[in-house]
Amino acid sequence: MGWKTLDDMELGGRTVLVRVDINVPVEDGRVTDATRIERIVPTVADILAAGGKPLLLAHFGRPKGKVVPEMSLKPLLPALEGALGRSVGLIDSLETAEQGLNRDADVLLLENIRFYPGEEANDEGLARRLAALGDIYCNDAFSAAHRAHASTEALARLLPACAGRLMQAELSALEAALASPERPVGAVVGGAKVSTKIELLENLVNRLDVLVIGGGMANTFLAALGADMGASLKEPDFYGTAKDILAQADKAGCRVILPVDGLVARAFAEGAAHEVMALGPDAKLAADQMVLDAGPESIAVLQAAFAGLKTLIWNGPMGAFEIAPFDTATVAAAQAAARQTRAGTLISVAGGGDTVAALNQAGVADDFTYISTAGGAFLEWMEGKELPGVAALNNR
């Protein structure tokens, strides 16, 4: 761990620039999901408890370097004050902040940092103006750490820097899952397309003991091995890639698990008539048949594989989980992982939009060791890429 935390910093009497991700959904001027706001509470609370003054830096939407009134952070103030239990003062511009910080509010919030073209350009001039406002930099926005922006990368190099509590939890969970995991370690990688997860799969097969491939991705792998997958979602242009990944896994000693049976239907619709069919290199589906979920034998194979793991990383559903009954495999596998986690025999880390939705649907989100809401940053970390916002914190 090359990065510092709030525990390593002297915060008393200091202004702490805190990069947060509070890019939450807003409808009719009201926040409809405050999850991201709630997740920054421990960091802000700890800074205040130590006698520090938090100045929050955040983005909202994509204003592309221009002031867009509809993308102001002002509608977020009631939700912020409610979550923090503190008064929050909005600073309407960087120019206003430079004239002097309002000390009346407990917490300060600078207006949308993406109103400045220098933000997404990672402009050092903008970073220096921000640095002049405070004494310490704290990054609590792992979800924005894969972007080299002025408030995530350049600013971190100009002040004593540390990770906030959410960033700390995220990095600790991911390092435990991939950098130095308890073995055997496995991963579930599902979703629609192989093409969006090539780098992820190529990185994982060299790090894992077991790789479970599900969802539409599995159809591409099965077709590459010779199966006629009928009307199932698949990517013929990536059959060669699928074979290469299987060969890499074999060379690295990583066991790849593909569905051995599936729920096959002729319509992509809730409650569609379906049957269980055996899958494998010899499978032959009719031209109008499609696999929409893994079958009962596949579920049993997954549960047995999970039982032998100490660490599990999860990204993507096993089937068309949005429509019943094609959520069966995702729910059953998630519940199996949750049982082992509750029993203390498995470290389970999950991330990605569909993944979070699927685990919520299975009713097990609270049972996993850690669930990341970071999206792109979570995926890039799993792909083995260096994240600029994390690298800038190292050895500071």
3-state SS class at 393: coil
Cis check for the bond before 184: say yes or no (omega within 30 of 0). yes
Name the catalytic one among 36, 129, 147, 165.
36
Name the catalytic one among 13, 240, 253, 353.
353
Give yes or no: 103 in active site: no
- State how far the Cα of 91 lies from the Cα of 110, in Å rounded to an integer: 5
Give yes or no: 376 in active site: yes
Structure tokens at 329: 């495999």
Give yes or no: 353 in active site: yes
Name the catalytic one among 193, 255, 310, 396.
193
Dihedral angle of Cα 313, 318, 321, 325, to the nearest 10 degrees: -140
State the Cα angle at 306 between 301 and 308, rounded to 5°. 105
Name the catalytic one among 82, 89, 375, 376.
376
Q: Which residues pair with 54 in a beta bridge?
A: 16
CB atoms within 10 A of CB 92: 13
Cβ-contact 298, 262 below 8 angstroms: yes
Structure tokens at 302: 């997954």
- State how far the Cα of 339 lies from the Cα of 5, in Å rounded to an integer: 32
Which of 262, 344, 337 is CA-nearest to residue 307? 337
Report CA torsion sign: 78, 83, 88, 93: negative
Cite the active site residues.
36, 193, 353, 376
